[in-house]
């Protein structure tokens, strides 16, 4: 028997419709910002949490895009960050000097992942770098970092769904919801 994942959700923070509307607005902004730029637009999806956002965003952007994937470890297991960023899947392209990179992230918490990746891609010689996050928890910031595109500012609560997980579960939920604290033992 499969479990009903929605039983673990305290409340829905963002509905499918709200997310869809916001993704369309962000895509429109990206269209406007990159339409007349020299170089190719490359969306880099940070695995695994950003896959759902990435898929919807790349469909909503109307100018041609290349896609790529990176994986980093920032969280161990559970709900707290290790603060230690390791690149687990690297970018295997040699044309970064021709690429206007937009890093696509699910959520910014401490800010360490995106601060680290931005610096890393700068060192790799990317033509330009911007960051795009669906969710932002500014209250949790440990390093000074602000995204160029941001979907929603949310309170300091642990959320799942639309790609975001708790111990690899709940990614498939189509909405963003606050997890019941009893699920992670609080």
Catalytic annotation, residues: 109
Residue with tokens 């680290």: 116
Smallest gap, in angstroms, from Cβ of residue 2 to ligand IMP? 22
Q: Residue-wise over 81-120: b if at least 16 C-beta within 10 A, else e?
A: beeebeeeeebeeeebeebbbbbbbbbbbbbbbbbbbbeb
The partner in contact with residue 107, picked from ligand IMP, Mg ion, none with C-beta cut-offs of 5 to 8 angstroms by kind, is ligand IMP
Q: Which of the 8 DSSP states describes residue 172?
A: T
Of residues 135-164, those binding ligand IMP (CB under 6 A): 158-160, 164
Candidate list 26, 42, 49, 72; residue touching Mg ion; CB under 5 A = 49
Burial class (CB in 10 A: 0-12, 13-18, 19+), 72: buried
Q: Is the peptide bond before 48 cis (omega within 30 degrees of 0)?
A: yes
- Of 67 and 184, nearer to ligand IMP (C-beta) is 184
Note whether 107 binds ligand IMP by CB under 6 A. Answer: yes
Of residues 22-81, those binding ligand IMP (CB under 6 A): 49, 74-75, 81
The binding site for Mg ion (CB under 5 A) comprises 49
| Interface positions with ligand IMP (CB under 6 A) | 49, 74-75, 81, 105-113, 158-160, 164
């Amino acid at each position: 028997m499969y479990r009903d994942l929605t039983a673990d959700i305290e409340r829905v923070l963002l509905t499918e419709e709200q997310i869809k509307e916001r993704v369309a607005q962000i895509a429109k902004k990206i269209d406007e910002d990159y339409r007349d730029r020299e170089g190719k637009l490359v969306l880099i999806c940070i695995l695994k949490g950003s896959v759902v956002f990435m898929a919807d965003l790349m469909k909503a952007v109307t100018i041609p895009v290349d896609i790529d994937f990176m994986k980093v470890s920032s969280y161990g297991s559970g709900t707290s960050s290790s603060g230690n960023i390791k690149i687990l899947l690297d970018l295997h392209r040699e044309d970064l000097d021709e690429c206007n990179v937009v890093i696509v992230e699910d959520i910014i918490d401490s800010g360490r992942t995106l601060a680290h990746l931005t610096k890393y891609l700068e060192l790799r010689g990317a033509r330009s770098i911007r960051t795009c996050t669906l969710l932002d928890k500014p209250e949790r910031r440990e390093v000074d970092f602000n995204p160029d595109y941001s979907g929603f500012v949310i309170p300091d609560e642990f959320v799942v769904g639309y790609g975001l997980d708790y111990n690899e579960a709940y990614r498939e939920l189509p909405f963003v919801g606050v997890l019941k604290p009893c699920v992670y033992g609080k």
